[in-house]
Copies of this chain bind each other. A is one copy, B any other.
Amino acid sequence: MSLIVQKYGGTSVADVQCIKNVAQRIKSTRDQGHSVIVVVSARSGVTNELIARAKALHSKPDEREMDMLLSVGEQETIALVSIALHALGVPAVSRTGAQAGITTDVCHTRARIKDISGGDLREQIAKGNVIIVAGFQGLSESGQITTLGRGGSDLTAIALAGALKADACQIFTDVDGVYTADPRIVPNARKIHEIAYEEMLELASSGSKVMQSRSVEFAQKFNIPFEVRSSFNQQPGTIVKEEVTMLEGLLVTGVALDRNQSKITLSELPDQPGTAAKVFQALSDANVVVDMIVQNIGRKGLANITFTVSRDDVDRAELAVRKAFADKNQPDFVTATDIAKLSVVGVGMRSQPGAAAKLFEALAKSSINVNLIGTSEIKISVAIDPDKADQAVRVVHDAFDLGK
Contacts and interface: CB of A to CB of B under 8 A. Distances in A.
* Copies per complex of this chain: 2
A184 interface: no
Contact of A84 (B57, B80, B93): B57
Interface in A75-91: 75-76, 78-80, 82-84, 86-87
Contact of A87 (B58, B78, B80, B145): B58
A229 B57 CA distance: 25
Interface stretch (A62-70, A186-194, A292-300, A378-386): A62-70
Main secondary structure of the interface of A (DSSP, over half): helix
B76 A93 contact: no
**Residue of A23, A69, A83 with highest tally of chain B CB at under 10 A:** A83
A50 interface: yes
Contacts of A20: 57
Contacts of A37: none
Contacts of A54: 79-80, 83
Contact of A61 (B53, B58, B78, B83): B83
Given A53-B80, A54-B80, A68-B94, A61 B75 contact: no
B83 A76 contact: no
Given A53-B16, A57-B19, A79 B68 contact: yes
Contacts of A87: 57-58
Contact of A86 (B58, B75, B79): B58
Given A19-B57, A57-B19, A76 B84 contact: no
B84 A66 contact: no
A116 B58 CA distance: 32
A341 B72 CA distance: 43
A56 interface: yes
A103 to B, nearest CB: 15
B50 A65 contact: no
B65 A76 contact: no
A99 to B, nearest CB: 7
A265 interface: no
B72 A86 contact: no
Given A53-B80, A84-B57, A71 B64 contact: no
A71 B86 CA distance: 20
Nearest to A17: B56
B76 A62 contact: no
A236 interface: no
A143 interface: yes
A57 B16 contact: yes
B62 A83 contact: yes
A93 B80 CA distance: 28
Given A57-B20, A57-B87, A69 B62 contact: no
Interface in A283-325: none
Interface of A: 16, 19-20, 23, 50, 53-54, 56-58, 61-62, 64-66, 68-69, 71-72, 75-76, 78-80, 82-84, 86-87, 93-94, 96, 99, 143, 145
Given A20-B57, A61-B83, 5 more contacts: A16-B56, A64-B93, A65-B86, A68-B96, A69-B75
